[in-house]
Amino acid sequence: MRIVNVQLPERAYPIFIGKGTRRQLANLVHELGAGTRVAVIADQQVADLHLERAIEGLETSPTVMPFPAGESSKSLSQVERLYGELANARIARLDLIVTLGGGVAGDLGGFVAATWMRGVRFVQMPTTLLAAIDASIGGKTGVNHSAGKNLIGAFHQPMAVLVDLDFLETLQQRDYLAGLAESIKHAVVRDQALLEWHERHADEIVAREPEVLQELIARNCAIKAEVVARDEREENLRMILNHGHTIGHALEHLLSYELRHGECVGLGMIVENELARLRDMLADETAERVAELIERLGLPTRLPRALAAEEVAAACRLDKKLRRGAVHFILLKALGVPERVADISDDEIAAALRVVQPL
């Protein structure tokens, strides 16, 4: 088992990574004291597979609150329904909420925990790779609104994150590979040695070799934890984690029924590196090297169908419509050297998009 600490200015919390880390939950509840009630907000699909093991060893049985799998559960109506269940179970300030599932469970359950009685303690049990290395760390929680994704939210840090590799085993290969895009992103913006490590272990990573997987998750958690610790509220440094995401979100908006978030981020990194290359900001070899790794890790390097450049440029702006100012890109100058760029033109987007258009 590996432990990575998230060292926030006010307090710290641990991320446990390994097979069987779910058993830490009983210890945590025990430490909170007798009489602590536990509510588990769980993705229904994940609960069917793993709930029994997730709560094994708890002294008193928790109240389980399943929600339907999928992004559409990140809604205020789901939040409202869960508040009702918390009221019925008499969950109060000093009790504990556990979230079980992927990023949707963490964002929805975390938001409920952040707002119920002005904030209840919570523990994340992420069960997708994306949630384990990204969404469950950093305290961003929230739900969607018809005006856009993640518009309603709160910062609320968990007490602990338990990444149990036993749960990740049932994750579909395509979802697993999609999660790897965030790992490549962490490596290129922050840790060149991690990029080299991905290249050396690419086959074992794709094969989900347990020791390599544990190492991959621990190294990613350390990067995300370090960035979040320095900039909890995303005023500055944390923005580097948006590399690949300005284009990625635009593609996701246009292709959400065809591609996963991580697949869009992989394509987004390729396009954004091309933007940087065309400006002579980034060396050709580096752009090629990242694209090659994306391909070796089984992620798409071309769009499933051609997209009009104007549509993509418009979708980039859509994301920023509600946030003041220009569209920002986090482009690479070199490995480990991201830079914020705000003056990308539609013509540049059109030129860069060509590298991912279908052949």
Is the CB of 309 or the CB of 316 nearer to ligand NAD? 316
Stretch that binds ligand NAD, among 102-110, 156-164, 199-207, 295-303 (CB under 6 A): 102-110
Instruction: Work out whether 134 is an interface residue with ligand NAD (CB under 6 A).
Output: yes
Distance CA 186, CA 194 (A): 8
245 is catalytic: yes
Beta strands in 118-238 (DSSP E): 121-126, 140-145, 148-155, 160-164
Least Å distance, CB 239 to ligand NAD, is 13
Residue 98 structure tokens: 């556990």
Which one of residues 25, 39, 55, 69 is an interface residue with ligand NAD (CB under 6 A)?
Answer: 69
Number of Cβ within 10 Å of residue 283's Cβ equals 16
Residue 336 structure tokens: 């480990």
User: Max Cα separation, the chain?
Assistant: 63
Least Å distance, CB 1 to ligand NAD, is 18
Least Å distance, CB 91 to ligand NAD, is 22
238 is catalytic: yes
204 is catalytic: no
Alpha carbon distances (Å) from 80 to 66, 75, 254, 274:
14, 9, 30, 44
Least Å distance, CB 11 to ligand NAD, is 19
Instruction: Work out whether 180 is an interface residue with ligand NAD (CB under 6 A).
Output: no
Q: Is residue 151 classed as helix, strand or coil in its secondary structure?
A: strand
Instruction: Work out whether 103 is an interface residue with ligand NAD (CB under 6 A).
Output: yes
DSSP letter at 73? G
Distance CA 179, CA 131 (A): 8
50 is catalytic: no
Distance CA 125, CA 134 (A): 13
Give the catalytic positions in this structure.
118, 140, 182, 224, 234, 238, 242, 245, 249, 261
Chain residues binding ligand NAD by CB under 6 A are 43, 45-46, 49, 69-71, 74, 101-105, 107, 127-128, 130-131, 134-135, 138, 140, 150, 167-168, 170-171, 175, 261
